[in-house]
Amino acid sequence: VLSFLARDLVLGGCVAPVPGKASATARERARASLTADIKAAARRQLTEVGAGGLSLRAVARELGMVSSALYRYFPSKDELLTALIIDAYNAVGEVAEEAVGLSALTPNARWIAVCHAIRGWALANPHEYALIYGSPVPGYRAPEATIGPASRVPLALIAVLGQRAAGGPEMSSSDLGVVLGGQAAAVTTALGGVVEPEVLVRGVIGWTQLFGMISFELFGQFARTFDPSDELFKFAVVQMARLVGL
Amino acid sequence: VLSFLARDLVLGGCVAPVPGKASATARERARASLTADIKAAARRQLTEVGAGGLSLRAVARELGMVSSALYRYFPSKDELLTALIIDAYNAVGEVAEEAVGLSALTPNARWIAVCHAIRGWALANPHEYALIYGSPVPGYRAPEATIGPASRVPLALIAVLGQRAAGGPEMSSSDLGVVLGGQAAAVTTALGGVVEPEVLVRGVIGWTQLFGMISFELFGQFARTFDPSDELFKFAVVQMARLVGL
DNA sequence: TGTACATCAGTGAACGCGCGTTCACTGATGTAC
DNA sequence: TGTACATCAGTGAACGCGCGTTCACTGATGTAC
């Protein structure tokens, strides 16, 4: 997941504007805008029926088109799903990267800011969140093109960890062991060696904890106990920052 | 979630044997066994199509029955889903409680044992895991009857925390704040005051982290980086135990 | 600038499929006397 | 123990619906000369 981060994946890769052309033709503009409309309608659909129940015919209906017309824009339902997934990963990724870019903060405060930013996005877009972090859509296999966008969030988290004062408090190489150490080393070298393996592993653990918290909140596990979960989240994030070495 | 734990919910509540009768009639036995067969076939279905794609007709087909016959056993598809959900919660719950019951361990070792036991169940039953901890099935609202079984796992975790030596290392009442402290106090009193609010909150956080880790592993977020995730999990669990106060 | 041709967007009908649920029904299993 | 009746299990047909995808088609938009 962590190994690709190409900037040009950000747009979603479905109606990439023709590179050479300076200005688009009317047809090109219409196509781009209708593609966006289709994705917007599909996103609205997700709200009601979830990823598994997404229906091309319903999307077409919402847009006042005939269902076969959608095949001018997406070769199949799965391709539309892929586009939505990539868009969602890029949306969270962007939010996370933005929070990382806040310059006036300590690494600790920045980590906390990233966590809250990601949760904010998740609360505002629960169905897109479920699309990418919930149970996999049955019968759908995510293509390679999702890997880059999917890795933006973990990379943002790891970037924060890389900024901390070198030599964290309670960590040594021998802790990881040979298997985990090897896996972590492979990833860090793929990333260009910007962080040590131990830091990477801490980041990955923090990443899973963050999303564990958000998933439980969104998927209703806190119902009837910690129902407005803001304070629980706030408290947990502070604890997690400590665990992560910040 | 945490407030109900009735032992008689454990069986699933769908074909409760008639209480007064000492021995069941042939009809009753046949009914119980076919009910179990239906649930087993439905569970097998989950493997292939996920919760959203579960189909009564397909279940009936697998059993060599006609689809309308299923209505003698479950009044609707949603009721069948509910039975599966309750069974799944009870299955993990039982596994967790069993691990808690291991007597010869320190609280720290017991916490770690529970975590590994739960992960073991999840790896062995990934689709039932997704059913209860993945994105909610669209259009399905979990009934009250799921609450009791759903709370067995968190209660087991909290039970372990309650066993630790009183007065944990780094925790004070003032940390929680008024809102979170109030929520936690409400839950602890509902539980009969067996643990302090701070311990409860730690337990809840540990609970979310455990399932965050398992979800990421099962839902494929570690693909290509920490792919056999055993060592990562093992390492993370040790860290989490520390955070939880053990 | 105007015309001829190629490209593309969207239509409407059709194919073949699966779904949940209902209903009147035939037999088998149980119960009361 | 045997018979009459009630209960229940499972059948098969039907209702009404929605789905993804293909295909030949009409018009509109673009391009080359």
Q: Give me the CA A27–C1' C8 separation in Å, rounded.
A: 9
- Of A128, A122, A149, residue with least CA distance to A210: A122
Give the model's confidence band at A217: pLDDT under 50 very low, under 70 low, under 90 confident, else very high.
very high
Say what the pLDDT of residue B156 is. 96
- Beta-carbon contacts of B11 under 8 Å, excluding residues fewer than 6 positions away, are B90
Say what the pLDDT of residue A8 is. 34
Say what the pLDDT of residue A26 is. 87
For the entire predicted model, the pTM comes to: 0.90
* Whether residue A13 has pLDDT greater than 70: no
Say what the pLDDT of residue A94 is. 98
- Of B218, B212, B201, residue with least CA distance to B237: B212
Exposed / middle / buried, residue A21 (Cβ in 10 Å: 0-12, 13-18, 19+)? exposed
Distance CA B191, CA B92 (A): 21
CB contact under 8 A, A235 and B137: no
* Strand C contact nucleotides, protein CB < 7 Å: 8-14, 18-24, 29-31
Distance CA B57, CA B45 (A): 11
Nucleotide nearest to B60 (CA to C1'): D10
Say what the pLDDT of residue B112 is. 97
Say what the pLDDT of residue B163 is. 82
* B173 interface with A at CB cutoff 8 Å: no
Q: Which pair of tokens denotes residue B220?
A: 């494929």
- Beta-carbon contacts of A44 under 8 Å, excluding residues fewer than 6 positions away, are A62
Distance CA B98, CA B86 (A): 18
Distance CA A199, CA B72 (A): 57
- Beta-carbon contacts of B243 under 8 Å, excluding residues fewer than 6 positions away, are A239, A240, A242, A243, B202, B205, B206, B209
Is the shortest CB-to-strand distance from A30 to strand C under 7 Å? yes
Comparing A66-70, A105-109, A136-140, the range with the smallest average pLDDT is A136-140
Low-confidence ranges of chain B (pLDDT < 70): 1-23, 165-174
Distance CA A122, CA A211 (A): 10
Q: Give me the CA B22–C1' D2 separation in Å, rounded.
A: 26
- Of A3, A139, A213, nearest to B49 by CB-CB distance is A139
pLDDT in tens, A97-113: 999 998 788 999 999 99
In a mutagenesis test of the A interface, which of B125, B133, B226 is the best target, namely the one with the most A β-carbons within 10 Å?
B226
Residue A220: half-sphere exposure toward Cβ, Cα within 13 Å: 15
Cα B93 off chain centre by:
5
CB contact under 8 A, A240 and B236: no
Give the model's confidence band at A175: pLDDT under 50 very low, under 70 low, under 90 confident, else very high.
confident
DSSP-assigned letters across all residues of A176-245:
T-HHHHHHHHHHHHHTTS-S-HHHHHHHHHHHHHHHHHHHHHHTTTTTTTS-S-HHHHHHHHHHHHHHHT
- Of B37, B103, B51, B80, residue with least CA distance to A136: B51
- Of A44, A43, A205, residue with least CA distance to B221: A205
In a mutagenesis test of the A interface, which of B172, B202, B234, B235 is the best target, namely the one with the most A β-carbons within 10 Å?
B235
Say what the pLDDT of residue B8 is. 34
Across the range A53-60, mean pLDDT stands at 96
